Structure 1
Amino acid sequence: MPENEGAERDLSALELPQWGRLRETGDPWDPYQLIDKDGRVCAEAQAFFKDLQAAGREDTTLRSYALDLLRWLRFLWVLDIRWDRATSVEARDFMRWMLLADKPVRVHWRLQLRPQTAAPKGPGAVVRRPPPGTLNPVTGKSSPGVKYAAATRAHCETVMRTFYDFHLREGTGPIINPFPLDRSRQASRANTHHNPMERFKHERTGRYRPKVPKRIPRRIPDEMFNAIFAALKYNRDRAMFAFWVSTGVRAEELLTSTNRDDLPGEQVIGVIRKGTRDYQRVPASPDAFVWLRLAQEEAWRRGVPRGRNAPLWWTLRRPWRPLEYPAARAMFIRVQELLGSNWSLHDLRHTATYRMTSDPLVRLTDVQWVLAHKQLTTLQIYLTPDSDEIVGHMLAHHARQEKKATEQPRPPLPAPGYDPASMDVLFGRPNS
């Protein structure tokens, strides 16, 4: 019997304290360090991060894996169990806890509001956000709920299974992975009944991995995009929005561009692709380069560093720093607070994809190249109309049916050579 097999834990009363932390070092050889509850670096985690880095994973991937690993270690620290002594019982209880427990509430210091009777007013006032899980009336998207999302739980299960698989191969961890594969997959061969006409699926499913619903890409309607664009205050933000919605590149990919990547004569801009780290020049709309030129002239007059190898996007205030994704995301959130919407920066990529795929003169292979998709089938989700389009089509259908029912049916015309009056007498119809 595994250790702690017969122990019943009260998971409803379990709360994870904020023990340990993730430290960003700034060292490219060791970008992140996981600090345990005693203030020491977790050697087992650092070995795992080095293996991921050797496999070509980005620093953002290391950070994402480290946060999931820190959550698992906090769970074990509360139970007073070493990481290499954990069994499938702890893994099962951990996934149950993530399913039923509330996420820890971390209120940003800017959002901590004092009790007041009236709503805040003025440009510096803080806008109260809707309760978690509330459906946004403008976008139709719900805000993050109080529970862990299925995608978060699935990602955490994958990270933990990969972490223990690594130490199992290296001989530095337990001999049995606490996060095993599904029982139906342990005694059979992968893709046993595969249909050769379909793509291969990822069948290495974990036993405790939840089912993740398919996400429907959401685009920003043209009228709402124009409203958001009109609410922007600075030419830098207008230029970024014009590039995002015309090129379809990811938000963080555009922020990697430098001054030498701006080629208005060829109407292309160079970016470094996420994942592959390949350099690619993608076409953009003419107005994007106009807004960019205006933003550059303003920035250079204020003293922003120049040069071909200098970053293309900078902060608006001193000290001058290259614009990073968190700052761009915060800018987008502030603009949307005026409209009451909750779109994400990635929805701009979906919007650009919808616009390109809706143009009958643009080939899907061209869209695949612009978006840097590995498979052409990835564009299938963009060819399916969203709920708003389907509702509009069905309402138009009902309107046509109602109009058709109210119209007076016309009698059929006789064939050439027949007298219409004779046909009226024959069928007993009144004279027309």
Structure 2
Amino acid sequence: MIESEENVRDLTTLLVPRGGRLVSTGEGTEPYQLLDAAGELVEPVAVFLRELLAAGRSPATLRSYGMDLLRWWRFMQAVEVGWDRASRADVRDFSCWIQLTVKKRSPLTSSSGTGWANGVVGPPNPITGKPALGKGYAPATVAHSETVLRGFYDFHRDAGTGPILNPFPLDPARRSRRAHAHRNPMDGWARERVGRYRPKVPYRIPRAIPDQRFNELFAALGSNRDRALVAFWISTGVRASELLGVRQCDIDPGQQLITVVRKGTRAIQQVPASADAFVWLRLYQEELHGQIPPGRLQPVWWTLRRPRRPLNYHAAHRMFERANASLGADWTLHDLRHSAATRMARDPQLTLSDVQLVMGHAHLSTTEIYLTPDKDEVIAGVLAHHARTADQRDKPIPPPLAPGYDPQALSVLFGRTL
């Protein structure tokens, strides 16, 4: 059935209000709550988040899912449609809107040289080569949102509390046959159950920080605490949140080990670190001696300003941003993890399975991406190839081997100068 013109929404004039918010409760039984524009709890989302928590999802995952649901709730409020009355036309319009809308950013991000201002996308960062932030949502964010909302409606459909037909459909081209039918066991596992309105996410090669740039970045850090943090991140490859959750009892300088709780599996794992990291850690601990609560279960990382509080991710992120700003770069904390994995993967004395275990990757194929050559290395190699080719063209061609013939006669024959 073809829609009439009066039923087609004009998304260019659609104003989506920023009503509602996702709040952190600080409680383990319900870490996050979605509140509507009136400040009331959105019960369908609360039930879904409790289901995720019961399935072993981390609070960080619940927050990520909650932000996707908040965007959906704001859109449904703007089009004046109830969540349980959503149709595929509403989903189609939402998918178009989220890919076309201008994302509201903080003034710091919008005015920086690596972002965009007045709707104009800036150039790539001259230090890191990273592309400038676009004015809208990234394809990965849009794809993640589609997956979350499809799972949300699947849950309520199975529970009998939502629409019988999921408004977020799967791609019909992939539903016509059994998933992974006639699959070659030598090939990797491809994503076959994808949504119809899921955009293609470009393949990104992990970006490692070059050694010279890392030395400059490390020199820009302003305290022993910051140096200890970065030294542990670059030598262990653990995620930022994993290191920030380390306690006093998780540090073993004698064996150069730290114990972290993995983000996804929540598994407890010992990870080796460099000797320099423990030296910076000891200097930092001496500075805070007698200023933080004693105890083996106390956090290792604290704020530098009084009153002393455990250091959270956002404060560590701002610390790293300040060091970047002094160099004009835009490296992220996760780039330190990529850099550590790249360094270990290119060490001939380490096997790829060793790197997989240290990084906590579930599949070896995830670790293999760190074997991909760096862009700068590829450019340098190709330029060297062009230089070698030019040198070969400039070299004189030796005369052909012709025993019994006069070399001068051959030079005249082939047009060579005597």
TM-score (norm 2): 0.91
C-alpha separation in 2, matches of 1:273 and 1:141: 28
C-alpha separation in 1, matches of 2:82 and 2:116: 37
After superposition, the C-alpha distances for 1:383-425 in whole angstroms (9 at most, x for unaligned) are: 110221111111111222223333445679x9xxxxxxxx98x
Q: 1:276 maps to what in 2?
A: 265
Aligned pairs, number: 404
C-alpha separation in 2, matches of 1:364 and 1:8: 53
C-alpha separation in 2, matches of 1:12 and 1:352: 44
Runs of 4 or more, structure 1, over 6 Å off, are 1-6
C-alpha separation in 2, matches of 1:105 and 1:281: 38
C-alpha separation in 2, matches of 1:404 and 1:299: 63
Tell me whether 1:241 sits opposite 2:230 in the alignment: yes
Q: 2:406 maps to what in 1?
A: 428
Q: 2:353 maps to what in 1?
A: 365
Tell me whether 1:398 sits opposite 2:386 in the alignment: yes
* Candidates 176, 200, 223, aligned match of 2:212: 223
C-alpha separation in 1, matches of 2:249 and 2:130: 38
Superposed, 1:302-381 pairs within 5 Å as: 303-381=291-369
Structure 1 unaligned residues grouped into runs of 5+: 114-126, 415-422
Counterpart of 2:50, as a letter, is K
Tell me whether 1:261 sits opposite 2:250 in the alignment: yes
Q: 1:27 maps to what in 2?
A: 27
Q: 1:293 maps to what in 2?
A: 282
C-alpha separation in 2, matches of 1:371 and 1:335: 25
CA RMSD of aligned residues (A): 2.2
Q: Secondary structure at the match of 1:204?
A: coil
C-alpha separation in 2, matches of 1:142 and 1:298: 39
C-alpha separation in 2, matches of 1:38 and 1:260: 45
Counterpart of 1:18, as a letter, is R
Superposed, 1:157-236 pairs within 5 Å as: 157-236=146-225
Q: Secondary structure at the match of 2:264?
A: coil
Q: Would the aligned equivalents of 2:115 and 2:133 in 1 still touch at CA under 8 Å? A: no
C-alpha separation in 2, matches of 1:23 and 1:331: 24
Q: Secondary structure at the match of 2:215?
A: helix
Q: Would the aligned equivalents of 2:352 and 2:368 in 1 still touch at CA under 8 Å? A: no
C-alpha separation in 2, matches of 1:129 and 1:145: 10
C-alpha separation in 1, matches of 2:345 and 2:41: 49
Q: Would the aligned equivalents of 2:114 and 2:330 in 1 still touch at CA under 8 Å? A: no
C-alpha separation in 1, matches of 2:406 and 2:314: 80
Q: 1:16 maps to what in 2?
A: 16
Tell me whether 1:50 sits opposite 2:46 in the alignment: no
Tell me whether 1:144 sits opposite 2:133 in the alignment: yes
Q: Secondary structure at the match of 2:270?
A: strand
C-alpha separation in 2, matches of 1:247 and 1:235: 18
Q: Secondary structure at the match of 2:102?
A: coil
Q: Would the aligned equivalents of 2:49 and 2:62 in 1 still touch at CA under 8 Å? A: yes
Question: Shift of the alpha carbon at 1:187?
Answer: 2.9
TM-score (norm 1): 0.89
After superposition, the C-alpha distances for 1:320-346 in whole angstroms (9 at most, x for unaligned) are: 111111111111111111111111111
Structure 2 unaligned residues grouped into runs of 5+: 409-418
Change (3 A) 1:130 1:146: closer
Tell me whether 1:103 sits opposite 2:88 in the alignment: no
Change (3 A) 1:2 1:394: closer
C-alpha separation in 2, matches of 1:57 and 1:65: 10
* Candidates 95, 101, 116, aligned match of 1:131: 116
Q: Would the aligned equivalents of 1:300 and 1:306 in 2 still touch at CA under 8 Å? A: no
Tell me whether 1:386 sits opposite 2:386 in the alignment: no
Q: Secondary structure at the match of 1:178?
A: coil
Change (3 A) 1:284 1:240: same
After superposition, the C-alpha distances for 1:91-120 in whole angstroms (9 at most, x for unaligned) are: 000001111121134436xx899xxxxxxx
Counterpart of 1:340, as a letter, is G
**What percentage of aligned pairs have identical amino acids?**
52
After superposition, the C-alpha distances for 1:291-346 in whole angstroms (9 at most, x for unaligned) are: 11001101115x12232211111110111111111111111111111111111111
Q: Would the aligned equivalents of 2:261 and 2:269 in 1 still touch at CA under 8 Å? A: yes
Q: Secondary structure at the match of 2:7?
A: coil
C-alpha separation in 2, matches of 1:4 and 1:183: 24
Q: Would the aligned equivalents of 1:239 and 1:289 in 2 still touch at CA under 8 Å? A: yes
Question: Shift of the alpha carbon at 1:214?
Answer: 0.9
C-alpha separation in 1, matches of 2:384 and 2:293: 55
